[in-house]
Amino acid sequence: MSFPQNRMRRMRQSDALRALVRETTLEPGDLIYPLFICPGSGVRNPISSMPGVFNLSVDEAVKEAEEAASLGIGGLLLFGLPAEKDETGTGAWIDDGIVQQALRALRQTPAAKKLVMITDVCLCEYTSHGHCGIVNKSGSDFAIDNDPTVEILAKTAVSHARAGADVVAPSDMMDGRVAAIRSALDAAGFGMTPILSYASKFFSAFYGPFREAADSAPQFGDRRGYQMDGANLREAMREIELDLEEGADMILMKPSMPYLDVIRSARDRFDVPMGAYQVSGEYSMLQAAFERGWLDRDRATLESLIGIRRAGAEFIVTYFAKAAAKLLG
């Protein structure tokens, strides 16, 4: 049957009809809100490259969590800014680390029952050199020592679970870290703590603003030796496959918008829960356009998130979580 009998516009005539046949939906519960936790009390330091995002002391983070829960947001992703850094990232795993403090405080609030508490497991925020692992440096050359780094990551994951994390999310891209974390969690009595693996994390220009937020810019070199080459789709599928074999319960794709094809390929291939991270550069890029009046803030915010959902992500880590939840509510 062809035109004029077949008229696609018939189903676009009203809001009710469009809603009835809508293929992709977005709800506040699909969103994960990242928080950057820092020492102190009453601290709410704005991040210049990320309008509307702050470094928060634990008490302020609790307020953000309560608002997120009231909006129906699905969960939080916690990052820590320690009071002190060293070459091995000790602040990541110690019992009184900043993320551990935040988890214990959040667990005392009603919001904890409504939000999934996810913790980023990496060392870049905690190391004095800004890399995601133990550095072996010789002159101007350096390498990341994979296996010693994995041991620290496993210790960090256990400390987060002990402090109250619902999910631990390794983002370092070290080989074998999922298996090590699963083994360490099980041995410590946290066999029911899921692992959300950043299984496909690319070396990307879109992480720039995050490095201001987390004070994690590398002091030398870059991270292309352990994060993935953005040109490689098949390698991404292999990374995901290996992490799932090692015991990952969920996977997280990062970045989102420049890598929608990777999200789609992973969704088609792997039958596991999958999220995507709309990273700092994606957020800041859109915010810059909003401030100049080049894009409609509300429409572009939701359209960017719907696109990620349509590509196959079941949940989205986004700095737009509160704004989007208000629009969706």
User: For residue 73, which phi and psi values (nearest 5 degrees)?
Assistant: -65, 145
Gap between the Cα atoms of 249 and 170, Å rounded: 12
- CA 38 to chain centroid, in Å, comes to 18
Catalytic residue among 85, 114, 155, 201: 201
Strands 54-56 and 44-46 come out as: antiparallel
SS3 200: strand
For residue 241, which amino acid is it? E
Which of 162, 159, 165, 150 shows the shortest CA–CA distance to 195?
Answer: 165
Dihedral of the alpha carbons of 235, 228, 185, 87, in degrees to the nearest 10? 150
Within 147-213, strands assigned E span 167-170, 196-201
CB distance 103 to 86 below 8 Å? no
Q: How many CA atoms lie within 13 A of 277 on its CB side?
A: 25
- CA 46 to chain centroid, in Å, comes to 19
Q: Give catalytic status of residue 201 as yes or no.
A: yes
Q: Can you spell out the DSSP letters for 218-258?
A: -SSS-STTTSBPTT-HHHHHHHHHHHHHHT-SEEEEES-GG
CB distance 289 to 328 below 8 Å? no
The H or E element containing residue 45 is strand 44-46
For residue 45, give Cα distances in angstroms to 52, 56, 82, 172, 213. Answer: 10, 7, 15, 26, 10
Q: Give catalytic status of residue 155 as yes or no.
A: no
Catalytic residue among 113, 254, 322, 326: 254
User: Annotated active-site positions, please?
Assistant: 201, 254
